[in-house]
Chains A and B, each alone.
Chain A
Amino acid sequence: MKQKALYILVLAALILSACGGLAGGGGQPSVVRIGWASGPDSLNIGVAWLASAYTISELTYSSMYEFKLDGTLGLDLGTKETASADGLVYTYKIRDGVKFHDGQPLTAKDVAFTYNLVMAHEDFPTLHSYVEHFVSVEAPDASTVVITLDQPIPNIASKLVFLYILPEHIWKDHSEDDAAAAYENLEMIGSGPFKMLEYKPNEFIRLGVNKDYYGAVPKVDEVIFQVFSSSDVLIQALKTGQVDMITSVPNTSVETLKSAENVKVVTGAPLSPDLEDIIFNMVDPANCPTADGGLCTGHPALRDKQVRLAMAYATDKNKIIEIVKLGLATPGIALIPSGMGEWFNIEVKDFEYDPAKGNQLLDEAGYKDANGDGIRDMPDGSRPLTFRMNWPSSDNEAPRIAELLSEMWRELGITLEMQAVESDALTSKCCPALDYDLMIWGWVADPDPNSLLIVPTTDQIPTGYNETGYSNPRYDELFAAQGAELDKDKRIKMAWEMQQLVHDDVAYIIPYYPYAVQAYRTDRFTGWLDTETKLALEDPSSLTIIEPVK
C-alpha cells in the first residue's frame, strides 16, 4: 500500500503547512468544545422538538424565569411577579436596558409579542401547550407585562420558563399563518449570554459571547457544539481531547472514562428527568372504545391486580439497574421521577423483591399450572399466562430489560413473547387500539408535574396518554384539584397521594429513573457546576462561569 502511505504523507504535509499558517494568527481565543449526539432539529423554538434545541435556546435567549439546577425556578428577565387575588392576572416587571444581539432593545412589547405569537400558533406543538389558559397578554409600558388567564393555574413559572423572548422586529415578518412554523431563524437573534455565530445543521454550532449580556458575562470567548454520530465516537473525542465536554456518556463507558487521564465523569439527575415504564393493558373489552378503533386484546389476567402485584414482587429493579444501566439509575416508584425534587413522593415504599411472595399471590388468586407445562393458566384454565411484550425499536435498552423481565417472571410461571415494534406502529398498537399486553416505554418530564400526573387519568383513556386504561375516581379528583391549587405545599401533598395510588394499584411498574452522565476534561476549563441536584454542564449556569485552566 505504498500509494496510501504517500497519500497520507502528502496530506500531512498540507496540514502542517496549514497549521503553520494558522499559528501566526495572534492571541488564542478560549473556545469550549462540546460534543453531543445530535444537534437541534430547528433553531425555530416554536417547532423544535429536541432537548438540544432547548439547550441552545437557553444559551441564546432569555426568558421570564430561569430553570435552576436545584429544580426550582427563579425570575430572570422578570424582576417582579405580582398575582391578583383570584390568581387570574399576573403582572411582571422586566429588566431595563436589555439588548438583543443585534443591538435593538428588548422591551415588554417583545415579551407580549412572543406570548401572543405562541398563543396564536397551534402549529407550535410543544410551546402552545404552555399558554393553555392564557386569555391575553399586554404590555402597557416598556417594562410591564400583564397576563390574563381564564382559570387560576398553580404553575405559571413553569409555563413561562420555556417561552423564550423573541425579537418582535424580526419575527413580526414571520408571524402570520404558516410563516411562523416555516421560519428557519438561522440568525437566532436573542438576548442570552451567547449569540449565534455559525450553524451547520447536524455538524456544529458556534456560539460567541454576548458582551452586552445583562447577567454575568461568560468568561470564555466561544462555545462550539459538535455532533458525533455515536456515543462511542463521542467518548473517543473526549479522550483524545478533540472536545472538552460531552453531554452524555453511555453507561458502559463510565468505568473506562473514569480511569482516563484528565477526564472527570459526573452523574446527577437530568435537567428533564425521564423514566422507563412497564405498561399493563388493563382495558376490559366490555368498555372497549371501539368507535375510536379499539381492539382491546389485552390478556384478562392483567386486569387482576393480584397478578400485577405478583409481577411487581418478582421484578428485581436493582438487578435491572445493575445490568441495563450499570447501576446508573434509581429504582422507580411512580410516574414522577425522583429528579423532580419536592414533587417526588419519597414516602412510597416499593414492593420488596420477593418472587416467593409473588408465587404465593398467584396461587391464592387461583392461577394454577393446569396442564403441567410450567406455565400458569387462568383460573378457569382457558389460557396460559403468556403475555405479549412490546417496546419501541428505537430504544436499545428495552430489549435488555425485556430479557431480564422474561427471566424474572418465568419464576412466577409467566412467559413473555417479546417483540420490538417501530415506535409509530407501537403508538397505534397502544392507543386507541389497545392491542397489546405489556409494553416498555418511557416518558420525559416537564419541570411541572402536571404533564406526567395527567397520564393515568380517565379522561385520557382512548386517544390520550392513558395507555393502560387505569381509571380511579379518587385519582381523577385529585388531578383536577391540584391543577387549580395555588398553595404549593397543598399541591405537593396531592401529587404525593396520586403517586401512592398509582403505585398501590400497580398501574405501572417503573424499573428506574436514569441518571444523567456527563464528562469533561479537567485540563481545559475549570468551574463546571457538577455537584448540583441536576446535572447539565451545557446549561448557561456552567458555561457562563467556567474559565480556561491556567
Chain B
Amino acid sequence: MEISNIIDSLHPLEIKVLMTLGARQPAVALKSEELAVAAELEPSQLSMAVEWLLAKALIEIQAEIVTPVVSLTRIGEEYYQTAAPIERILAAARDAAGTGKRLTIGDLQAQPGLESSDVSKAVGRLKKEGVLLIIQGGCIETTGRSSPTTEALRPLLEEVHGSSRELTSFSPERQQLIEDYSVKRGNAKEPFRVDERVTRSFVLSPSGTSAVEQLMNQGLVEEVSQLSPELLKDGSWRQKRFRKYTISLRAPRVGTGKKHPYREFLDIVKAKLVSMGFQEMRGALVETEFWNMDALFMPQFHPARDIHDVYFVKQPTHAAVADESILSKVGKVHENGGKTGSSGWGYAFDLQRAKRLVLRSQGTAVSAHTLAASPNIPGKYFSIARCFRYDQVDATHATDFFQVEGIVLGEDINFRTLLGLLNLFAHEVAQAKEVKFLPAYFPFTEPSVELHVRHPRLGWMELGGAGLFRPEVTVSLGVTAPVIAWGLGLDRMAMVALGIHDIRELFTDNLELIRTTRGLF
C-alpha cells in the first residue's frame, strides 16, 4: 500500500504513538510504559495502537527486556499483616528466656497457625545464625545474638507490599533472602514470588519514519472520524482530516418502511387500468345472492350457487330489501326472459332466495351494482375486489382472494372491440405481443372469450376471460347499450413476479419474507 494511503487510514491512537516516537531526536527506543506516559495513552489504548502499527510495519520491536520482578504472594500478604513464622518463633523464644519457661519444638508446633514445616524451617535458619540453641530434651534457648534474616524480612515485606519491584533494585544479600523465601516448584508456601516481566521497546521502522515525516509535513492537522455541526459552524473542518473508512465491509441492516410486494403489484395493475381510462368501483364484502348471482343471470339451480361453493351469512340470513321491484324484474327474466328478447331459464324464481346473504364470491357482483346505478355511456369501470369461495385451501386455492374485473359500456362495443380491449390488456398488463382468443363459457356473457397470451417470462398462459354481457343481464338492470364484462387472472403472474409457488404465500404471516421479497414486475 502507498504510504500516503496508509497515513490516511491511520487511527488517531496510531498517529499519537508514531508522533511520540518520531519526536525523539536522535531516535531512541521507548519501552511500553515510557511510550504510554509520553503519548498520554491508557495501557489498553497503547497496546491496541502498537498491535495495529506492528501489523502495518510502521514500528518495530527494538528489544525485548526480561526483568525479574518480586511481588508478595497471598502468604506474603498474611506475613505482612501479622508476622512471619521466624518472627513469631524468635519472639516466643525470647519471651520464654525472659520468664524462664521451658520452650520445646512441640510447644511451637502446637501454636495456632504454625505448621511443623514452618517451624522446622525457621528454627533451622535461626540455629544456623546462632540465635537459637537446641538443648537436651528438645528445649529451645536463645543465645542473645541478633538474627539478620528476621531483621531484614520485615522491611522487605513492607517494601514489596502493594506493588511489585524489580529484583535488581535490592542488595545482593536481600536478593538472596528473597530467593530463599520465594515460591518455587514444589514449595508454594512462600511469601515472595519472582516473575519475569517482558518489556518491549519500540522504534520507528523506515516506513514509519517516512510516515512521521509526511505527517509532520501535513502540519498539525487533527484527524476526526465524524463531521459535526460544530466543525461546520466554525469552519474548523478545514483544519481537520477525515479518517478514511474500510468501505468494503458488509453494511449493517436497517429497518425499512415498504409496501407489501403483492399490493405493489396490484397498485401497478390499478395504475395501468386508470391510465387506460377505467374508473374504480367499490363494493361490499357481504352481498345478496341477487347481486352476486341472480342479476348476472345465473339460474338459482346453477351448480356454482351450491352450499359447497359459496359462504352463506349466519345472521341476518336475508337482506332487508326495501325496493323489490328490481328483484322481481330480474326474476321475470329468469322465468321467461321478460322484455329482454330471451326465453329465460323457465323455472319459478324464488324472491326469498334472491335476498339470501352471502360473502361476495365474484367481483362481477360489483359490476352488476354499477350497471344498475346509471353508469356512464361510454364508460369503463374496474374493481379489485376481495372475494370468498368455499374451497379447501391448498397451494392453488385460496378461500379469500382478489379479483380484478370490470366492464366497458358503449355504443361501439361489439365482439371485435371486445377482442381489441383484450389485446390492450395483453400488451399493457402482461407485456405480451402474441395473443390467442379461445371460445369460453360464462353464465353471464355471450359471446365469451378466454384470453391467452405469450408472457415474456411465463410463456403461454391464460390472462383472463371476457365477453359481451347477455342482454338478460344489462337490459333488466336498465342498460341498453352493449357492455363488455372482463376479468383478469393475475395471481399466477403475481406469484412468478414474487418468486413464490404457493398462493397462500401472497398473504403470508412471515415478516422476514414480506420484508425481503423483491417484486420483479
- A, B co-complexed: no
